[in-house]
Amino acid sequence: MVIEAVKLSVSYDNTQVIKEVSFTLAEGVVAVVGPNGAGKTTLLKAISGLVSYAGSLKIMNKDLRDFSAEERARLITYVPPLVDVMPDMSVGDLILSDPLVSKELLEEYIELFELSSLLKRRLSKVSSGELSRALLAKGLSKNSKIVALDEPLSHIDLRFQLILLKHLRVLSKGGKLILVASNQLNPLLSYVDRVVALKKGEVVFTGDVASFLRSSTPERIYGVKFEVVFKDGYVDIIPRELA
């Protein structure tokens, strides 16, 4: 197991937003889904050591609290959807601002996410999709065993969505655990091994994609009736009606 959570809870201002959840995750690409406010970001941040939690969280059989800050930073990378940026900073400086990035990998990601013509551009002058691609390049260049991507599909276009998801699949085959929090079930669920579904701070489902989509969970958590089409190894999830 890469991650084992037992009765994991997170509270903000005495309000519990992750409620004693327990799950285990192995290598692979995992979709973390659930409606707005379900706790996806908070769960990713707890796993990344960015918010304090109660209960137990073991990463590769070691308590997360027993890792030094540097060990943890190498092992786990949290990639935010967008960041409050310093407008005068350039894309290149943003990408290089983390000392743990591998310069070699960074070059590969600059190519993959087509960032080379943007490197000198100030952050105040790039689109949200371009900024998001820069954050993905920076985060993935750390080459962490566990990567937690928070809404990585929300700003990038369809082509970059496929570029990213196909690449995540390759990375997971190399032994990484990649968590993808997203509401874009399409195209995400065609590219993941497992689904963790959250509702109001509770894990209401963990399992494979087909079991998730054949269960009542999607309708229950989103309040929407879906039409689901499996074809040629892909799946399309079409929201049809409010439940």
Ligand X SMILES: Nc1ncnc2c1ncn2[C@@H]1O[C@H](COP(=O)(O)OP(=O)(O)O)[C@@H](O)[C@H]1O
Query: What does the binding site for Mg ion look like in residue numbers (CB under 5 A)?
Result: 40-41
The footprint of ligand X on this chain (CB under 6 A) covers a number of residues equal to 11
How far apart CA 208 and CA 231 sit, in angstroms, is 16
How far apart CA 157 and CA 127 sit, in angstroms, is 11
Q: Which does 104 bind (CB under 5 to 8 A by kind): ligand X, Mg ion, none?
A: none
Q: Is 40 in the site for ligand X (CB under 6 A)?
A: yes
Q: Is 39 in the site for ligand X (CB under 6 A)?
A: yes
Smallest gap from Cβ 151 to ligand X, in A, equals 8
DSSP labels for 13-26?
TTEEEEEEEEEEE-
HSE at residue 209, side-chain half, CA atoms within 13 A, is 21
Which residue, 197, 81, 86, 173, is CA-closest to 135? 81
Q: Is 216 in the site for ligand X (CB under 6 A)?
A: no
Smallest gap from Cβ 37 to Mg ion, in A, equals 8
Nearer to ligand X, 47 or 101 (CB): 47
How many CB atoms lie under 10 A from the CB of residue 218?
A: 24
Could you say which residues in the range 7-26 bind ligand X, by CB under 6 A? Answer: 12-13, 17
Q: Which does 42 bind (CB under 5 to 8 A by kind): Mg ion, ligand X, none?
A: ligand X
How far apart CA 38 and CA 147 sit, in angstroms, is 20
Q: Which does 39 bind (CB under 5 to 8 A by kind): Mg ion, ligand X, none?
A: ligand X
Q: Which does 38 bind (CB under 5 to 8 A by kind): ligand X, Mg ion, none?
A: ligand X
DSSP labels for 173-228?
HTT-EEEEE-S-HHHHTTS-SEEEEEETTEEEEEE-HHHHHHSSHHHHHHSEEEEE
Strands (E), 60-96: 62-63, 76-79
Residue nearest to Mg ion (CB): 41
Q: Is 84 in the site for ligand X (CB under 6 A)?
A: no
Q: Which does 34 bind (CB under 5 to 8 A by kind): ligand X, Mg ion, none?
A: ligand X
- For the record, the structure tokens of 201 come out as 């701070």
Q: Is 34 in the site for ligand X (CB under 6 A)?
A: yes
Q: Which does 37 bind (CB under 5 to 8 A by kind): ligand X, Mg ion, none?
A: ligand X
Kindly list the residues in this chain that would bind ligand X in the complex (CB under 6 A): 12-13, 17, 34, 36-42
